[in-house]
């Protein structure tokens, strides 16, 4: 028998460090939802016997590459970041969040910013937005939040009452809502906006030393936003304006580019920082943790077929590669499962075998069958593990690095509940004109809300962030 063992991998081609033991909080558990290998095995197994995205349905995509410009191997052993000048192919999908597949590009909404790096250790997906924070910080609230952004079950119309009722009862949303209602709520194009990983992630170097990181993609085209009236005009006249702009720019050789930077926090700082660094509704001050350049992303090729490459593209923040791992961010922990599970439902159990999602790394695992299996399904090879037939085996050097956990197993909230300092600081950083437009946008968005108590509750959040801002909104609403 051959002694040349193949590495066991996930379906996105990343090596598996342990296929015998789930990731648990200590020897007695409970099992952690961040064990994406476990979740993938179970979820794929459930679908072995044989729709439009729920969120981010409307989008556009492009191919390109990422080039390393700064050596950060002291912080991560990720192979695609291992040397200056190294280029990795990638695919990116930009999107709006709430609207349907045929909705307008120029609405006030966050923009999805999902990047798939085809690395030699498997695909790495960085699935973020064009904002550094999010509306909620625990995945258990995500279905309810998205329901408020969708249509009323009786009228089938958008429902401002639900939107503002939820936000006013979820004060952690204030930071993201303030960004959304600012000029940045309607980017001029996909090319003229920043991108963010939003969550905190863990980088691990070759020595097993860990740091916490946040990702920032800085557009090299400059940030530009749309005037409210022009955005509304475009929504009616050319609802695919952003999709068209991206395609045409690349087609004529005007390749969009972004500089990727990271903030790096020493592992122990997480215990003493003035905001919880794993709370996705908060940012880290760049004075405390300055931006460090990593590399440059360039988009230089349009898809040949929209459905095959953009609509069938699937991204999951749980698609990690060695050197990049999850943090205790509660919202991220839920997304590690939810995204891949959405793809198994929408595209199929074998979504990672489609050309746009297929890793360039060799894939070796024991997942079999399922709808639309397009390869030889493992042929007659061994189909379980452990085995003594020279099948792929785990590689212990790729096990996830531990981090300490404490406390009882319970439904526990974040310890820190200052939801007002950062949105207040953001308002005070704006120019007078920007502040006025922010107030006008908020007033316009809240005016259709029928119940005064909802308006007053939301105004109180902004008053706590900045007394002037709260008063100006109240005056605008006649309250």
Catalytic residues: 56, 129
Other CB atoms closer than 10 Å to residue 414's CB: what's the count?
15
Strands 201-204 and 195-196: unpaired
Nearest CA to 435 out of 476, 395, 401 is that of 476
Nearest CA to 260 out of 217, 291, 223, 299 is that of 217
Q: Six-digit token pair at 9?
A: 């991998």
CB 135 within 8 A of CB 149: no
Q: How far apart are CA 406 and CA 328, in angstroms?
A: 12
Q: How far apart are CA 238 and CA 232, in angstroms?
A: 10
C-alpha separations of 82 from 16, 267, 295, 382, 421 in Å: 20, 21, 11, 34, 38
Q: How far apart are CA 103 and CA 34, in angstroms?
A: 33
């Amino acid at each position: 028998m051959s002694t040349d063992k193949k590495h066991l991998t996930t379906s996105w081609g990343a090596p598996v460090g342990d296929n015998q033991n789930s990731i648990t909080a200590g020897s007695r558990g409970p099992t952690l939802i961040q064990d994406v290998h476990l979740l993938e095995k179970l979820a794929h197994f459930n679908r072995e016997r044989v729709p439009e995205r729920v969120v981010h349905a409307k989008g556009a995509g492009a191919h390109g590459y990422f080039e390393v410009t700064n050596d950060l191997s002291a912080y991560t052993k990720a192979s695609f970041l291992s040397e200056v000048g190294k280029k990795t192919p990638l695919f990116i999908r930009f999107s709006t969040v709430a609207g349907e597949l045929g909705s307008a590009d120029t609405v006030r909404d966050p923009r999805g910013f999902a990047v798939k790096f085809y690395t030699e250790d498997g695909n790495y997906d960085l699935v973020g937005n064009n904002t550094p924070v999010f509306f909620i910080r625990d995945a258990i609230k995500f279905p309810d939040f998205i329901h408020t952004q969708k249509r009323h079950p009786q009228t089938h119309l958008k429902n401002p009452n639900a939107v503002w009722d939820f936000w006013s009862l979820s004060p952690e949303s204030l930071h993201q809502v303030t960004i959304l209602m600012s000029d940045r709520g309607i980017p001029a194009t996909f090319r003229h906006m920043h991108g963010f990983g939003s969550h905190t992630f863990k980088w691990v170097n070759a020595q097993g030393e860990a740091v916490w990181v946040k990702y920032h993609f800085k557009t090299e085209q400059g940030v530009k936003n749309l005037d409210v009236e022009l955005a509304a005009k475009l929504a009616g006249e050319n609802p695919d304006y952003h999709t068209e702009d991206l395609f045409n720019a690349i087609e004529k050789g005007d390749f969009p580019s972004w500089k990727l930077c990271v903030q790096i926090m020493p592992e122990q700082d997480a215990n003493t920082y003035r905001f919880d660094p794993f709370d996705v509704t908060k940012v880290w001050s760049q004075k405390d943790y300055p931006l460090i350049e990593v590399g440059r992303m360039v988009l230089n090729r349009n898809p040949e077929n929209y459905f095959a490459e953009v609509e069938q593209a699937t991204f999951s923040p749980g698609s990690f590669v060695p050197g990049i791992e999850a943090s205790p961010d509660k919202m991220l922990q839920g997304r590690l499962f939810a995204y891949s599970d959405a793809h198994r439902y929408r595209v199929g159990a074998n979504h990672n075998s489609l050309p746009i999602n297929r890793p360039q790394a060799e894939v070796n695992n024991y997942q079999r069958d399922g709808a639309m299996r397009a390869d030889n399904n493992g042929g007659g090879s061994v189909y379980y593990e452990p085995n003594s037939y020279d099948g792929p085996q785990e590689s212990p050097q790729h096990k996830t690095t531990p981090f300490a956990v404490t406390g009882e197993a319970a439904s526990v909230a974040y310890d820190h509940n200052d939801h007002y300092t950062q949105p207040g600081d953001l308002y005070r950083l704006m120019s007078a004109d920007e502040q006025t437009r922010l107030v006008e946008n908020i007033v316009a968005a809240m005016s259709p809300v029928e119940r005064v108590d909802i308006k007053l509750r939301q105004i109180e959040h902004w008053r706590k962030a900045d007394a002037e801002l709260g008063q100006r909104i109240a005056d605008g609403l006649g309250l």
